[in-house]
Structure 1
Amino acid sequence: MPATTTPDELAALLDADADAAILDTRPPESFDAWHLPGAANVPYKPNQPFPADALPDGLDTTDRVLTICAKGTSSRFLAEELDAAGYRDVSVVAGGMRDWSAVYETVPVVARSDLEIVQVQRRAKGCLGYVVADPRTEEAAVVDPTRHTERFRALADARDWEVVRVLDTHVHADHVSGGRRLADALDVPYHLGANARERDVTYEYEEIARNETVSVGGVSLKAVPTPGHTTDLTSYLVADAAVLTGDALFTDSVGRTELEFGDADADRGARLQHESLQRTLLALPDSLAVLPGHASVAADGTWSPTPPGQPVKARVGALRDRLPLLSLSEDAFVERLTASAPAKPPNYERVIAINRGRETVENETELTELELGPNNCAID
Structure 2
Amino acid sequence: MLSTRSTEIVRATLPAVGGAIGEIAPLFYEKLFAAHPGLLRDLFNRGNQASGTQQQALAGAIAAFATALVEHPETRPDAMLSRIAHKHVSLGISPDQYPVVRRHLFEAIAEVLGDAVTEEVAAAWDEVYWLMANALIALEARLYEQAGTAAGDVFRPYRVTGRLAETAEVTTYLVQPLDGGPLPASRPGQYVSVQVQLADGARQIRQYSLSGRPDDALQFSVKRVTGEPDGEVSHHLHDRLAVGDTLMVSAPAGDVALADGDAPVLLASAGIGCTPMTGMLSHLAATGSRRRVISVHADRSEASHAFRADLLQLTEKLPDAVAHVWYEEPEGAWPADRTGYADLSRIDIPAGTTAYLCGPLPFLRSVRAQLLDAGVAASGIHYEVFGPDLWLGQDG
- The TM-score, its normalising length taken from structure 2, stands at 0.29
Structure ranking higher in strand proportion: 1
